Amino acid sequence: MNDYDGARRAYSNAIKYAPENENILRDLSYLQIHTRDFKGFEESRLNLCMLKPGILINWVSCACAMRVNKNY
């Protein structure tokens, strides 16, 4: 059985210790979109955009997250 709540707690705890870790933020955003936590997905993707502004896929995924949340 999948333990999405436990995984979410683990990723949130890891973010506290390494807030600028790109891999943790990306994996957390994948988990959030999988569990339909769209608000958290938008926050994670926005953090990735602020961390690495030169990477196009971060901006595209942030725009998708904003679109899902109707944040035009």
**Residue 72's CB: how many other CB atoms inside 10 A?**
5
pLDDT tens track, the chain, 72 positions: 588 889 989 998 999 999 899 999 999 999 999 999 999 999 999 999 999 999 999 999 999 999 999 988
* Backbone dihedral region for residue 7 (phi beyond 0: left; psi -120 to 50: alpha; all else: beta): alpha
CATH of the domain at 62: 1.25.40.10
Structural domain including 57 reads: 4-68
Domain count within the chain? 1
Q: What is the pLDDT at residue 1? A: 58
Instruction: Give, for 40, the enclosing helix (H) or strand (E).
Output: helix 38-51
Residue 24 DSSP symbol: H
